[in-house]
Amino acid sequence: MANTNFPLLFSPIRIGPIILPNRVFFPPWCFNWARKNGTLSNKLTDFYLDLAKGGCGLIITGCAAVSPDSLLYERSMKIYEKKHMRSFSKLCKKIISYGSIPGIQLMNFGRQSVTTWTKMPVYAPSAIPCPVKSKASIDPHYSIREMTMEDIERVKNDFVRSAILSVEAGFKFIQIHAANGFLLSEFISPYANKRTDHYGGSVRNRLRMVVEIIEGIKRAIGNEAALDIRITANEFVDGGIIPGHHEEIIPIIENAGVDMMNVSFTVSETTGVYFRRDIKTIGEAPEIDTANQLRGYSKKKLPFGYAGFVASLDTGERLLKEDKIDLIGLGRAQVADPFLVIKSKNGQPVDKCVWCHRCLFSFALKGEKQVFCTVNKKYKPRKAS
């Protein structure tokens, strides 16, 4: 039954073949907390279960690597072998037992992969090094090559295989990561894709890889899980994707067969500035109008999700009431307090995120090993078990 304080947030929503119990989701985070073989650690399991016990309707775990030769962090989650699948199946069952939906983000890291972890050159639509990852201080052996047609076929199959393993594990929601300057968004973006074959050039050609992956996954999993895609509304780089491009992009993607879309922002080189902004100056949900603009381009009226500087359920409820978006992601706010949803619903005080950005920069920019949170001491650095 809808909660009287947050009637819209606590109303269920259908996403393709599944129904989410409420409109709050945890957006995918790479915590660098998995075991080195890519399976779940106790720490990662604890966190996701806290979110489920805390009432978050959809928990998108991730980022999970689909290809053995593409990795962002040493302890990223992986989902390309049976052992990975088995490690997630208990988690999925438990999340469901608490009334939440388990989701997973599938990704190949493209030119933002790190050779230190894979011991192989990174590959991308075009051999244009990532300005951030190619820095000697981040990846001293970084080298890059353009993908061959064999690479393209293999990576497409990697996504489909990982989607099948995800469904076998019990995930009910699969998100294809086609945002933030990772492989699939590199194909979409004229900034990173300079190919002259039928995977480059026109919008339709740049979307071909994504469309073929969506179609392949849909064929393989049918209605076993909802299929979502995360796209970048604005890369904030010269020659990159801007919101207006999506008038042409979104209808092509939705016709390929996704059930939902998630809106994200930036590529590697613009992420730092984007996240470091002061919430007091920019206000909550600063890019919600852009997300709303993209939502307006959906001819099928698909549900859209937004995450970014949302601090509370009050804000989430307001955004739904203003009909800006359909689902609200709270990342940092739920890392600071994974019980935020249930506490807010019951009128209890929440451990508030202080927007110090420590979680992001703890590993991304300062070379430290794992995400940790200033407020939530349960997630202070310790060895992943």
Give the interface with ligand SF4 as residue ranges (CB under 6 A): 332, 335-336, 353-359, 373-375
Token look-up 């895609």 returns 229
177 binds, among ligand FMN, ligand SF4, none (CB under 5 to 8 A by kind): ligand FMN
Q: Does 27 bind ligand FMN (CB under 6 A)?
A: yes
CA-wise closest residue to 101 among 113, 112, 93? 93
In whole angstroms, give the CA distance from residue 74 to residue 370: 10
Backbone phi, psi, residue 236, to 5°: 55, 35
Distance in Å, CB of 379 to ligand SF4, minimum: 8
Give 250 or 310: the residue with its C-beta nearer to ligand FMN. Answer: 310
Nearer to ligand FMN, 195 or 290 (CB): 290
Strand 101-107 and strand 58-65: the pairing is: parallel
Give which of 255, 250, 133, 140 is closest to 182, Cα–Cα.
Answer: 133
Cα atoms found within 13 Å of the Cα of residue 149, Cβ hemisphere only: 3
Nearer to ligand FMN, 115 or 266 (CB): 266
Shortest Cβ distance from residue 376 to ligand SF4 (Å)?
A: 6
Report in angstroms how near the CB of residue 352 gets to ligand SF4 at its nearest: 8
Q: Which residues contact 376 (CB under 8 A, 6 or more apart)?
A: 335, 336, 337, 338, 351
Phi first, then psi: give them for residue 26, nearest 5 degrees. Answer: -95, 120
**Residue 196 CB neighbours (<10 A):** 9
Three-class DSSP category at 176: strand
Nearer to ligand FMN, 261 or 360 (CB): 360
CA distances from 264 to 160, 180, 207 (A): 23, 7, 17
Q: Residue 309: which of ligand FMN, ligand SF4, none does it interact with, CB under 5 to 8 A by kind? A: ligand FMN
Contacts with ligand FMN, 252-291, as mask; x by CB under 6 A: ------------x---------------------------
- Residue whose CB is less far from ligand SF4, 48 or 187: 48
Please say which residue, 61 or 193, places its beta carbon nearer to ligand FMN.
Answer: 61
Site string for ligand FMN, 178-197 (x = CB under 6 A): -xx-----------------
Residues 311 and 353 sit within 8 Å (Cβ to Cβ): yes
Instruction: Say how far apart CA 308 and CA 330 lie, in whole Å.
Output: 7
The answer to whether the bond into 92 is cis (omega within 30° of 0) is: no
Contact flag: residue 177 with ligand FMN (CB under 6 A)? yes
The mark string for 120-159 relative to ligand FMN (x by CB under 6 A, - otherwise) is ----------------------------------------
Q: How far apart are CA 300 and CA 212, in angstroms?
A: 19
To ligand SF4, the closest distance from the beta carbon of 374 in angstroms equals 4
> Looking at the DSSP assignment, which residues form a beta bridge with residue 21?
none
28 is an interface residue for ligand FMN by CB under 6 A: yes
- Is 111 within 8 Å of 142 (Cβ atoms)? no
Q: Which of 40, 44, 51, 63 binds ligand FMN (CB under 6 A)?
A: 63
24 binds, among ligand SF4, ligand FMN, none (CB under 5 to 8 A by kind): none
The answer to whether residue 85 forms part of the interface with ligand FMN (CB under 6 A) is no
| Rounded (5°) CA angle 233-238-242 | 20
Nearer to ligand FMN, 205 or 293 (CB): 293
75 binds ligand FMN (CB under 6 A): no
Query: What are phi and psi for residue 20, nearest 5 degrees?
Result: -90, 140
The answer to whether 20 touches 58, Cβ cutoff 8 Å, is yes
- The residue (of 29 and 297) whose beta carbon lies closer to ligand SF4 is 29
The smaller minimum CB distance to ligand SF4, of residues 126 and 362, is found at: 362
Residues binding ligand FMN (CB under 6 A): 27-30, 62-63, 105, 177, 179-180, 230, 264, 307-310, 329-333, 359-360, 371
